[in-house]
Chains A and B, each alone.
Chain A
Amino acid sequence: DAGVIQSPRHEVTEMGQEVTLRCKPISGHDYLFWYRQTMMRGLELLIYFNNNVPIDDSGMPEDRFSAKMPNASFSTLKIQPSEPRDSAVYFCASSLTRDLYYIQYFGAGTRLSVL
């Protein structure tokens, strides 16, 4: 299996621009998670989906952030408008209900820099 695929790997943008991060989970997995990692705050769960339905978005920092999962093989995290404090590494992870321990498989991440 190719694993969780994220794109782009690196994104540099200017403040105020819209940013879209993309994720393809492992085929057959029914949970998808979006995390943000910074030196100051560590790893933060932003939102997660089960069977394409958002379950908990309490970690989304503000209305500028939105996430969608239109089908089982694709999800996006959008920031509009972006701000310098959004600079971080964003990870997508997926897991499988049949895996009793819900082991999460992470993508390589997208490093976002907002200037």
Chain B
Amino acid sequence: GNSVTQMEGPVTLSEEAFLTINCTYTATGYPSLFWYVQYPGEGLQLLLKATKADDKGSNKGFEATYRKETTSFHLEKGSVQVSDSAVYFCALMPGTSYDKVIFGPGTSLSVIP
């Protein structure tokens, strides 16, 4: 079946540190991959996406590359800010089911000054 696995949190970093949040997936067909972010007290919102192998999604300084050979979609940012404190969800849309997105468990990030 289709599933998403993320590194467990919480993750605590100092401001300007490098961020990596690992995400691996299992899927049939050719899924599209997403990172969603949930800021405190808000709903999820799309951060970035990639739709085929070797695509790199990027937004707000965050990047993730669709690696089919390792079935991974790790999220990275070179220098985090306090305002990046949030919960990050890796997600996939199966290539055979275009209406249901499968979300990972989420990774909580806290950035301290």
Q: Which residues of A contact B103 (CB under 8 A)?
A: 42-43
Is B2 an interface residue, CB under 8 A from the partner? no
Q: Which of B41, B45, B100 has the most CB of A within 10 A?
A: B100
Give the Cβ gap from A34 to chain B, nearest Cβ, in Å: 12
New A-B pairs, 14, CB < 8 Å, besides A4-B43, A45-B100, A109-B42: A42-B103, A43-B44, A43-B103, A48-B99, A48-B100, A101-B34, A101-B49, A101-B51, A102-B98, A103-B46, A106-B43, A106-B44, A107-B43, A109-B43
Q: Which residues of A contact B99 (CB under 8 A)?
A: 31, 48, 50, 55, 95, 102
A-B contact count (CB 8 A): 47
Q: List 9 A-B contacts (CB under 8 A).
A: A42-B106, A43-B106, A93-B43, A101-B49, A101-B51, A102-B93, A104-B46, A106-B43, A109-B42
Q: Which residues of B contact A104 (CB under 8 A)?
A: 36, 44, 46, 101
Q: Count residues of A near B (Cβ-Cβ below 8 Å).
A: 21
- In the bound assembly, the distance between CA atoms of A91 and B42 in angstroms comes to 10
Q: Which residues of A contact B32 (CB under 8 A)?
A: 101
Q: What is the interface of chain A mostly: helix, strand, loop, or mixed? A: strand
Q: Which of A42, A43, A50, A55 has the most CB of B within 10 A?
A: A43
Closest chain B residue to A45, Cβ basis: B100
Q: Which of B36, B44, B45 has the most CB of A within 10 A?
A: B44
Is A19 an interface residue, CB under 8 A from the partner? no
Is A77 an interface residue, CB under 8 A from the partner? no
On whether the beta carbons of A91 and B41 are closer than 8 Å, the reply is no
- In the bound assembly, the distance between CA atoms of A56 and B46 in angstroms comes to 23
Give the Cβ gap from B48 to chain A, nearest Cβ, in Å: 11
